[in-house]
């Protein structure tokens, strides 16, 4: 069983046993004093550098802090389209604009992993539910412990307790619409030959409706409000214009 380093042995940061806020990835109430168990935090290595890592079963992506990515000079790849991130608080959102592939090491795990670059506080990395699933990770809170069941990442297969997230490829294709439209016109050119249809072109069709008597005068008068309803009409008008 692999255990993470105690908080008082972190090389870059020390913390007191007394906490003044609930520590979560999305919210921090700061008005109530209470005793709270520490979250499961491990010291991992990314490209040979120590990373303070939160194991979060409620996160659906492997996140890397923007600041940490700049420190280790990881090569960032811009996404074709920014991905929205829904946080736990209603209306609180963020976006992912870059991703990166880096060498990840922890206990018996040593492999290349893809991380989404995002602004996160307090941690260098946040490892997601798929990471815990692929490596068969068991987490204990009392006492705190981390057990790695598989050194190599296992394949995630659909079915059971695995959900499928639809691809955003259709959104990315927006810039290709003109090219696709031209291709469809070229393929359908032999289906829209005017001389073979027996019908006149649309622009040649006469859409006018001739009048029976062009000299006839049609009486009309503008709409009027009855005198007894004028006060009510003015009051209603003022309500709309106010």
pLDDT, mean of residues 156-177: 68
Q: Enumerate domains of the chain plus CATH numbers.
A: 7-163 (2.40.70.10)
Give per-residue pLDDT as tens, 88-130. 667 677 888 899 999 999 989 999 999 999 988 889 999 988 8
CA distance 203 to 77: 50
- How much is the pLDDT for 171? 60
163 or 30, higher pLDDT: 163
What are 199-230's pLDDT values in tens digits?
666 666 666 777 788 888 888 888 888 889 99
Q: How far apart are CA 134 and CA 193, in angstroms?
A: 57
**pLDDT, greater one: 199 or 85:** 85
Residue 94: what pLDDT? 80
11-34 pLDDT, tens digit per residue, is 444 444 444 443 445 555 666 677
Which string of DSSP letters, residue by residue, matches 48-76?
TEEEEEEE-TT-SS-EEEHHHHHHTT--E
Q: What average pLDDT does range 126-135 have in this prediction?
A: 89
What was the pLDDT predicted at 123? 92
10 pLDDT tier (thresholds 50, 70, 90): very low
Return the structure tokens found at 175: 């810039």
């Amino acid at each position: 069983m692999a255990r993470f380093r105690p908080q008082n042995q972190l090389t870059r940061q020390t913390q007191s046993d007394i906490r003044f806020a609930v520590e979560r990835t999305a919210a921090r109430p700061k008005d109530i004093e209470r005793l709270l168990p520490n979250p499961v935090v491990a010291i991992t290595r990314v490209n040979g550098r120590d990373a303070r890592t939160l194991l979060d079963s409620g996160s659906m992506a492997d996140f890397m802090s923007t600041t940490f990515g700049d420190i280790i000079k990881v090569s960032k790849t811009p996404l074709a389209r920014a991905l929205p991130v829904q946080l736990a608080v209603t209306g609180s959102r963020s976006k992912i604009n870059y991703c990166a592939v880096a060498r990840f090491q922890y206990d018996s795990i040593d492999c290349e992993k893809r991380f989404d670059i995002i602004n996160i506080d307090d941690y260098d990395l946040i490892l997601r539910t798929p990471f815990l699933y692929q490596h068969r990770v068991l987490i204990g809170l009392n006492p705190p412990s981390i057990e790695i069941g598989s050194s190599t990442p296992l394949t995630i297969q659909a079915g059971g307790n695995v959900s499928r997230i639809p691809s955003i490829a259709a959104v990315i294709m927006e810039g290709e619409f003109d090219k696709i439209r031209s291709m469809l016109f070229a393929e359908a050119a032999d289906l829209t030959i005017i001389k073979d249809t027996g019908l006149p072109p649309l622009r040649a069709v006469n859409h006018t409706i001739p009048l029976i008597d062009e000299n006839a005068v049609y009486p009309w008068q503008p709409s009027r409000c009855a005198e007894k309803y004028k006060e009510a009409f003015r009051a209603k008008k003022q309500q709309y214009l106010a």
